[in-house]
């Protein structure tokens, strides 16, 4: 696993009162301590971890998302603590996802597991009725850091540093360690439930070359039912799916662990029918591209859930028709 942790803020100590609790504890510092402890837990369990900042420096929201994307992170987790003016009693956990609820189902999985981990670790006396929140509630186009994220992403607001008692807890490394452990357990449970992935296997480079005399070549593993008459030039896109579980070879690993009716393929936003096949070794998904598909680049979104209801990590693909 490659996990990019993004401690919020930094490089802002000279700004009077900026993101500080009632006695002046800085959010940027608590965010960084939590990120460093969380990194230690993750590295000890075998993950590759990158922090967007490991020091008290300024980075733009876009730069932070870019660090995760360029590195090829599987997950991008932003770590924050919350603030509210004039309501010192407020203190609860929220975890934020980008956009509309269906934008990237994988983001909701990540957010939910992080939230559960924080609930168990911090055990704040109050919970909010809907702890997973869309960033559209705060800003018209959402949070820049989540909007810019190209990989599975969520943003934690673990507790409120404007609550005087919570501020005093958040200045203590032991409390930051406890929060980091909660986030670690949340991530560990998420990974244990299997992280689904997909790759395009046909055409391997994602590039179709149109042929008008007969059907495009395909690998032998595609069913004979997919073989088309020589007069039709149909473009067939094929994916190999990974449920994130079978690779462990546990008892029953040959059984299907993908919920077939959660599979959805959209090309340029248009839903297309698909065929799903599991031979006990691998999962194959084939999609006929529409006959009227234009030459050029096209975007493909593939969604599915494994038996633990985890959605595919990175659902976007590019194909090209020539």
- Please report, as ranges, the residues that interact with Zn ion according to CB under 5 A: 8, 80
Looking at beta carbons only, is 30 or 68 nearer to Zn ion?
30
Q: Please, which residue, 64 or 80, has the CB nearer to Zn ion?
A: 80
CA 170 to mean position of chain CA atoms: 27
Pairing assessment for the beta strands 132-134 and 94-97 based on DSSP bridges: parallel
Closest contact distance (angstroms) between CB of 66 and Zn ion is 19
Q: What is the DSSP string of 144-200?
A: HHHHT--SEEEEEEEEETTSHHHHHHHTSHHHHHHHHHHHHHHHHHHHHT---EEEE
Nearer to Zn ion, 53 or 80 (CB): 80
Closest separation between CB of residue 43 and Zn ion, Å?
24
- Give one DSSP letter per residue of 59-113, joined into a string: --HHHHHHHHHHHT-SEEEEEEEE--TT-TT----EEEE-SSTTS-HHHHHHHHH
- Alpha-carbon distance of 117 to 20, in angstroms, equals 25
Q: Nearest approach, Cβ of 316 to Zn ion (angstroms)?
A: 28
CA 95 – CA 152 distance, rounded (Å)? 14
- Residue with Cβ nearer Zn ion (55 or 225): 55
Mapping DSSP to helix (H, G, I), strand (E, B) and coil, where does residue 296 land?
A: strand
Report the residue number, 8 or 315, with the smaller CB distance to Zn ion.
Answer: 8
- Which residue's Cβ lies closest to Zn ion? 80
Smallest gap from Cβ 13 to Zn ion, in A, equals 14
CB 27 to Zn ion: min, Å: 5
């Amino acid at each position: 696993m490659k996990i990019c942790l993004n401690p919020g803020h930094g490089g802002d100590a000279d700004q009077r009162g900026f993101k500080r609790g009632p006695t002046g504890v800085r959010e940027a510092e608590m965010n960084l301590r939590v990120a460093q402890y969380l990194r230690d837990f993750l590295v000890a369990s075998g993950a590759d971890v990158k922090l967007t900042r490991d020091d008290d420096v300024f980075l733009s929201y876009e730069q932070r998302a870019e660090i995760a994307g360029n590195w090829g992170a599987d997950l991008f987790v932003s770590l924050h603590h919350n603030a509210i003016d004039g309501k010192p009693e407020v203190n609860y956990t929220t975890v934020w996802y980008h956009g509309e609820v269906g934008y990237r189902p994988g983001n909701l999985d990540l957010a939910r597991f992080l939230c559960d981990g924080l609930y168990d670790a911090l055990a704040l006396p109050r919970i909010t009725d809907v702890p997973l929140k869309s960033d559209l509630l705060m800003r018209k186009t959402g949070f820049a850091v989540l909007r810019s994220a190209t990989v599975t992403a969520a943003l934690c607001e673990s507790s409120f540093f404007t609550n005087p008692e919570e501020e005093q807890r958040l200045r203590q490394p032991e409390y930051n360690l406890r929060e980091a452990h909660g986030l670690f357990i949340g991530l560990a449970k998420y990974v244990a439930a299997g992280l689904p992935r997909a790759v395009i296997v046909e055409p391997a480079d994602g590039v179709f070359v149109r042929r008008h005399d007969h059907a495009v070549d395909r690998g032998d593993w595609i069913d004979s039912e997919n073989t088309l008459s020589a007069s039709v030039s149909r473009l067939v896109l094929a994916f190999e799916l990974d449920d994130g579980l079978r690779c462990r070879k546990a008892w029953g690993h040959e059984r299907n662990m993908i919920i077939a009716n959660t599979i959805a393929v959209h090309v340029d936003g248009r839903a297309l029918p698909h065929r799903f096949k599991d031979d006990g070794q691998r999962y194959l998904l084939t999609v006929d591209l529409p006959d009227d598909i234009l030459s050029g680049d096209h975007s493909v979104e593939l969604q599915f859930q494994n038996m633990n209801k985890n959605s595919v990590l990175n659902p976007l693909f590019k194909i090209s028709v020539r």
